[in-house]
A = this chain, B = another copy of it.
């Protein structure tokens, strides 16, 4: 049985020590290829060779990304055939919860980076049958969220470290707004 070698998925500067959940999310999927890999897994492209063919990603890099995504709990490796032992990749629950975010980013691209010919892929919301136009709203009041109805505040885990040093100062100044 073939084993993934112990490549340690080294990244450039790590964001792991930045006390910010965005930094931690990016630590997991913030690299150049991971979001497209997740898109493909969601769209049904699940085998190593299919991912290489679809994305044109280098095989060794795909191996490293898949290992990293698996270690991050976003992707699961499962056998689809035992006699010639073969594996394919699937999204875990954490990975599936990234799908709406990727879809929202796709909609942003439709709006601001659209090609002349129109969107290449569209989504239908099967609950209502409409072509999907995602909105990001508040779970409490259902109002749309935008840059100007959002106030950042230091949370329980706040501290002044790399990635929040200057922010901590700024938030301290506006916390009582």
Binding site for B on A (CB under 8 A): 11-13, 15, 18-28, 30-32, 35-36, 39-40, 42-45, 50, 53-57, 72-73, 91, 94, 96-115, 117-128, 130, 132-143, 145-147, 149-159, 162-167, 170-171, 174
Contacts and interface: CB of A to CB of B under 8 A. Distances in A.
B124 A150 contact: yes
Given A22-B39, A166-B53, A138 B145 contact: no
B150 A123 contact: yes
Nearest to A113: B24
B133 A138 contact: yes
Contacts of A102: 22
Contact of A132 (B23, B100, B145): B145
Contacts of A96: 146-147
Given A30-B35, A101-B108, 20 more contacts: A15-B36, A19-B120, A21-B109, A23-B109, A25-B113, A26-B32, A40-B166, A43-B167, A45-B170, A50-B166, A73-B112, A99-B146, A101-B101, A120-B157, A123-B152, A124-B150, A125-B143, A126-B151, A130-B140, A134-B136
Contact of A11 (B32, B57, B139): B32
15 contacts: A11-B32, A20-B106, A23-B109, A25-B108, A40-B167, A54-B167, A97-B111, A99-B147, A118-B156, A121-B158, A122-B155, A127-B141, A132-B138, A133-B138, A134-B136
Contacts of A132: 138, 145, 150
